Amino acid sequence: MGRKRLYREFESSIKVIGVYPGGINTNFYEHSRDYVSEEKQSSFMDPAEVADVILQNIFQENRLTVADIVIERSFNR
């Protein structure tokens, strides 16, 4: 079911947001076939920060719709 069809079917009472995060520092990589060194994983994003970005977009109260979120690491810190 496409995004536009969901909007029509639920009369905009539902939000559909595609979230595309980069590497998130979780235990997922410990058991993954794609080995990621601890050093590289430590540079991945904090899960709480990623969750904050998603929640800010879900609970915004203006009349705008966010369709997709691409979340990447910031190397400025």
Query: How many domains are contained in the chain?
Result: 1
The four Cα atoms 37, 42, 44, 45 give a dihedral, to 10 degrees, of 150
> Is 12 inside a domain boundary?
yes
Cβ distance 74 to 25 under 8 Å?
no
User: Max CA-CA distance within the chain?
Assistant: 47
Contact 44, 22 (CB under 8 A): yes
Cα–Cα distance measured from residue 4 to residue 30, given in angstroms and rounded to the nearest whole number: 38
Q: Is residue 47 part of a domain?
A: yes
- 5: tokens are 């069809």
Q: What average pLDDT does this structure show over 29-58?
A: 86
Percentage with pLDDT > 70 across the chain: 81
Q: Binning pLDDT at 50, 70 and 90, where does residue 21 land? A: very high
Q: Domain span at residue 24?
A: 3-71
